[in-house]
Amino acid sequence: MSTAITEPAGHAAGGPLGLGCPRPVFAVAALLLGSFLVGFDTRLFSIGLPDLRGAFGLSFDQGAWLNTFATAPQIFIAPAVAWLAATFGVRRVLFWPSLVYAAISLVLPLVRNWELLVGLHMVRGLLLGVFIPATIMIIFRNLPTRWWVPALAVYAFRLAFSLNTGPLLIGLYDTHFGWQWIYWQDMILAPTIGCLAWLGTPHEKLDLGLLKRADWGGMALLGSGWALIYGALDQGNRLDWFQSGLITCLMAGGAALVVAFSINELLVRHPWASHQVITKRNIAVSLLIVLSYTATSLSNSQLIPGYLTNISGLRPEQIGWSLFLASGLPLLVTTPLAVLLIRRFDARMTMLIGFVAFAVAARMGTDLAAVWGPWTFTPIALIQSIGQGFTLLAVIVFILANADPKQSTATAAYIQVVRLGGAETATTVMATFLRHREQLHSYLLGLHVPAGSSHTDGALGAISRIFAGDGTSPQALAARSMASLKSIVSQQANVLAYIDGFQLTFWIALLGLLLVALLRPAPPGILVPPPPQWRFPRRRRSKPANFEAASA
């Protein structure tokens, strides 16, 4: 039996024309808004965290932990949302959480108590983790098959678009509306999503069969394990990893829970996320490709914004328009083009084009210099938009084309684990890599600036002449010149570290190309285009000039 998806899940739900709902346009609108709400909320919170620390009166440590507490619940709940939607129905899973989410978003800017602030952010993160998996379920349960690839394109598009539009929105909120709108925007969006889901999805009865054989232990073990691992990854770079007993305990505890989850899935009669899903070659390699995509796309989501804010010292409102116009806006072209290619050709070809674009952009980033500004990255960002628009959509379609519909909840669970856990792992590894490379380059550059050398004295003298006219005392002038020289060396060390970061993403893009080459063709199904029918014109044999004479 073919393992490809061969029948839309919407048929099982009933409804006219096999759509599963009488008004699919509302379901599509819920999908759009739900996808963008998750992308923008996550991105806006991470970018606006320094402003939120000041607004709430938090220390640096409290701000760092607030980010962890706000995101870890997403990882806890997200793998189980597909099962919850299949058991309780998409309408119930989306409608009521959206109302609670809106209420919490209204109250949060008014809270100043630390414990209450953490508790509300944890509940908010738990609800936020519901939206993306639940809206994806709308695609397969309530939409006709011809809409599947475009609807999945919305999911892939919102991830890249929110990454490149987040700085622009933060700048607009800070400048014109106030930081509170980081939360208050959801007072409008979240209830709208709930109402659209209520109108656009059918009323589904509670699936008592799934509820009775629920693998509660497996869901709790996997969610808790990855939440603890996420906490260790998010705080590890700040607390110096295994030099901290807390990080060691979080990592060991999370790993033990994940191992216990694996044992549980082997022993229970009805496993929730069977390991058979990831033992299939195409799906296992595709999940590795998702990790490669997540890591190589850091050249756009982490390296460029990080360089402009940390090294160039620019605010989000100063870099927002350049990122939006160079990376966000081109996605309106590259994403529909990816849909067209996937519908006509093998999805593996689209993946190859995406990774090639990432490799070219990363190679261009290795020419980074300290004088680069926001608009200097425009050619790199334009090429990266091709990689972002092509790669993720193609690999998601390929995974679903190789998935068994009977194991859809397990497939969705592992996709969410890779999506959230892989993103945090890649971000943490890159941050640690940049920190160590900056320390190395700072040491190596310092060897060429020894105290008392003629070159060092000449540089200090040149800097002193710049500050000599402001009436500063000789002692203060010497200290000021020394501090400026240290700043120049530190800046160059950071530039070299970011060049190494671009080089790392280049090699990861090449690894992605190698993984794509290991994929086998997907079995025939709804998401797989038919093979091209090559027709060659027949050559007609020419008759000899004396044919009639010879026959006569």
Across the chain, mean pLDDT equals 81
Could you tell me which residue, 27 or 381, shows the higher pLDDT? 381
**What is the reported pLDDT for 33?**
78
**What is the reported pLDDT for 242?**
87
Please, are residues 450 and 437 in contact by the beta-carbon 8 Å criterion?
no
**What is the reported pLDDT for 537?**
56
For 245, residues 6+ apart whose C-beta sits below 8 A from its C-beta are: none
Name, of 68-82, 184-198, 334-348, 497-511, the range with top average pLDDT: 497-511
Q: Which stretch of DSSP H or E encloses residue 458?
A: helix 454-467
CA 466, distance to chain mean position in Å, is 46
**What is the reported pLDDT for 195?**
86
| pLDDT of 13 higher than 70 | no
The residue with tokens 């989501």 is 301
Confidence of residue 141 (pLDDT cuts 50, 70, 90): confident
Rounded Cα distance, 131 and 466, in Å: 56
Report the 10 Å Cβ neighbour count for 121: 22
**What is the reported pLDDT for 489?**
82
Confidence of residue 356 (pLDDT cuts 50, 70, 90): very high
Three-state SS letters, 259-294:
HHHHHHHHHCCCCCCCCHHHHCHHHHHHHHHHHHHH
Could you tell me which residue, 28 or 357, shows the higher pLDDT? 357
Name, of 12-26, 117-131, 496-510, the range with top average pLDDT: 496-510
pTM of the model: 0.81
Confidence of residue 4 (pLDDT cuts 50, 70, 90): very low
**What is the reported pLDDT for 538?**
58
**What is the reported pLDDT for 292?**
93
Among candidate residues 367, 353, 386, 395, the one with its CA nearest the CA of residue 527: 395
Confidence of residue 354 (pLDDT cuts 50, 70, 90): very high
| pLDDT of 16 higher than 90 | no
pLDDT tens-digit series, residues 252-266: 999 999 999 989 888
**What is the reported pLDDT for 3?**
39
Q: What is the pLDDT averaged over residues 521-536?
A: 72
Helix axes 378-401, 281-296, angle to 10 degrees: 160
Q: What is the pLDDT averaged over residues 162-175?
A: 76
Rounded Cα distance, 5 and 401, in Å: 6
- Percent of the chain beyond pLDDT 70? 87
DSSP per position, 114-172: HHHHHHHHHHHHHHHHHHHHHHHHHHHHHS-GGGHHHHHHHHHHHHHHHHHHHHHHHHH
**What is the reported pLDDT for 542?**
52
CB-based burial, 524-546: b 16+ in 10 Å, e otherwise: ebebbeeeeeeeeeeeeeeeeee
pLDDT tens-digit series, residues 425-483: 888 889 889 999 998 998 888 777 776 666 676 676 776 766 666 666 676 767 777 77
Confidence of residue 365 (pLDDT cuts 50, 70, 90): very high
**What is the reported pLDDT for 351?**
94
pLDDT tens-digit series, residues 190-237: 888 888 888 877 777 877 777 788 888 888 898 899 899 989 988 888
Q: What is the pLDDT averaged over residues 486-498?
A: 87
22-31, 69-78, 419-428, 528-537: least confidently modelled range: 528-537
Q: What is the largest CA-CA distance in the chain?
A: 119
Confidence of residue 6 (pLDDT cuts 50, 70, 90): very low
